[in-house]
Chains A and B, each alone.
Chain A
């Protein structure tokens, strides 16, 4: 199965700053079938990005995704207070679908 490694484990930033989260795949992800999710305490994950760079419905344009081979990046251009949460990447190009271990984005 494809292993996804997210870094950093925790990122401490202030509102208004730029956040860059990384997700590295152990092998090529079929057709860039990679998604990003945001999860807040007590809530189900929320889809942010699919296909590595397409924003899901209703997601603000401060969220963007990009890829370079087996390296994928989620960028939040200007952090809002509601953006502080845990972020997961998921690959769905090869079964079984797999998730990264998550990056916690904390308020500094």
Chain B
């Protein structure tokens, strides 16, 4: 059973960069069968897809964040990471890393979420 765990600072100052890492256990991030995603959910609101990485090649991002977001992968440590630059209070949210099937879709495994607050 694959497990995902987010880690990173819970407080980021406005204009700075938000950085989170997702550690995957119980499965290889290099399987080629899955996308590795970042999503977020502001308190009391709905879900927003941020982007994904696919280890055979490539990243895709939500155009609403495209110029500010980078997702990278570290296959040697079975981790993938999120960087979001120039953050504002609007980026305050619970950030999830999650796995989805590259063939059938649907996001079947989620981390517990990491709360990131943007405040000075």
A residues lining the B interface (CB < 8 Å): 1, 33, 35, 37, 44-47, 49-51, 54, 56-57, 88, 90, 92-93, 95-102
Contact = CB atoms under 8 A, between A and B. Distances in A.
Most chain A beta carbons < 10 A, residue from B63, B64, B100, B106? B106
Question: For chain A, what secondary structure do more than half of its interface residues adopt (helix, strand, loop), or is it mixed?
Answer: loop
Interface in B9-50: 46-49
A88 B9 CA distance: 28
Given A44-B110, A44-B112, A96-B64, A54 B104 contact: yes
A1 B62 CA distance: 10
Given A96-B61, A100-B46, 7 more contacts: A44-B111, A44-B112, A45-B107, A49-B106, A51-B104, A92-B100, A102-B46
A93 B106 CA distance: 10
Interface residues on B, range: 20 to 34
B96 interface: yes
B101 interface: yes
Contacts of B100: 92
Contacts, number: 59
Contact of A99 (B48, B104, B105): B48
A45 B108 contact: no
Given A44-B96, A44-B110, A92-B100, A35 B46 contact: no
Contact of A50 (B49, B63, B106, B113): B106
Nearest to B62: A96
B60 interface: yes
A24 to B, nearest CB: 15
For the complex of A and B, list the 7 residue pairs with the smallest distance between their C-beta atoms, beginning with the closest: A50-B106, A44-B110, A97-B49, A96-B62, A35-B106, A99-B47, A92-B105
A44 to B, nearest CB: 4
Contacts of B101: 50
B22 to A, nearest CB: 13
Interface in B61-116: 61-64, 96, 98, 100-101, 104-108, 110-113
B79 to A, nearest CB: 18
